[in-house]
Structure 1
Amino acid sequence: MFGVLNRFISKLDAAPLDDQQSTTNGVYGFQVLRNANQEVPLEPWFDFVIGINGRTIDNPDPSLFATEVRNSAGTTISLGVFSAKGQKIREVYLNIPAEKPTLGVSLQWAPLSVSEDVWHILDVIPNSPADVAGLLPYGDYVIGSPEGLVRGESGLGELVEDVRRSLFLFMVLKRA
């Protein structure tokens, strides 16, 4: 049952010391881009499918993944899911309908490291540029910027200080 998770963790543990700055370097999975099915507990941008039915996904061909889902019509599948929020791995069990064997999600093969530098908005000062832009504390995330690299703990602060004009950010907004 947890074989896929154990193999994933062993891949991370086997990384050379130089690569252990990030536990996700060189590890890939299917990143969830959109989720049109409210019954599938996968969160766009933050969740990566790294295993299916006890096997690690190591082939970027989406048709193999889709075939595995279709072949499971009328049964339950298990997905190994890596969440960029907290760098956690969980097992998700989903019933695949016999009449329409799909998950209702859009996926993209991507390195898990694309989600490492994410900033959760915790506070928005009234009348600040963040407030004027409509950002919500504890719900919105900064995931990057076309203005430059946003890496490390101080990356976002350094970018804000360097840019003396309007700052463009890539965001994940949580709205009801």
Structure 2
Amino acid sequence: MGAGSSSEHEIGGVRVFKVTPGSPAAEAGLEVFFDFILAINGTKLEPGEQSVFAAKIQESENGAAKLTVYSTRANGTREVTVMPRKWAGSGLLGATVRYDVVDAAENHGIRVLEVFPNSPAAHAGLVPFQDYLLGTPQRVFHDIDELVDV
């Protein structure tokens, strides 16, 4: 294998880091942390081309933008239509995004399987089989042992 062979199979795109409730991104069902936007309106997103994504969103204002989205949680792609527009919040999408590469070795969260009544998890509003624990402001959780250490 050549030195560049691993990059030939990398999946990269604009990663969704924040979605504001009630925003066009929320309406489209974009999922924080797990979703990577690989293409917009048929244009594949490459490293260093986040400005291409922003330009395509602006071109689609008050219309529809077709996104190809890869989900690390579902381990698959889906087509999503978002309607970029001015809304009550900032930006046309209401999302914080940044180009990133999917790291297959990275643990993509610890899935919550059970919540005991009156526990700190219950008081925090965690929902079994729906919520994931990603980390703290100081660290990302790679396995359950790191959660126990906190």
Please report the TM-score for the alignment, with normalisation by the length of structure 1: 0.61
Instruction: Count how many residue pairs are aligned between Structure 1 and Structure 2.
Output: 136
Q: For CA contacts below 8 A with separation 6 or more, give which structure has more relative contact order.
A: 2
C-alpha displacement at 1:117, in angstroms? 3.1
Structure 1 pair 131–30 and aligned structure 2 pair: CA distance change class (3 A): same
Counterpart in the other structure of 1:103: 93
What CA RMSD, in Å, does the superposition of the two structures yield over aligned residues?
Answer: 3.2
Higher percent of residues as helix = 1
Alignment of 1:8-157 (within 5 A): 26-36=10-20, 37=23, 38-97=26-85, 102-113=92-103, 116-126=107-117, 130-131=121-122, 135-144=126-135, 146=138, 150=142, 155-156=143-144
Matched residue type, 1:50: L
Structure 2: where are the runs of 5+ without partners? none
Structure 1 pair 29–124 and aligned structure 2 pair: CA distance change class (3 A): same
C-alpha distance in structure 2 between counterparts of 1:85 and 1:149, whole Å: 15
Q: Deviations over 1:3-32 (max 9, x none)?
A: xxxxxxxxxxxx96xx6xxxxx73221111
Where 1:144 maps in the other structure, the secondary structure is coil
Q: Deviations over 1:71-98 (max 9, x none)?
A: 223432210111122212101122344x
CA contact (8 A) 2:64 2:81 kept: yes
CA contact (8 A) 1:40 1:103 kept: no
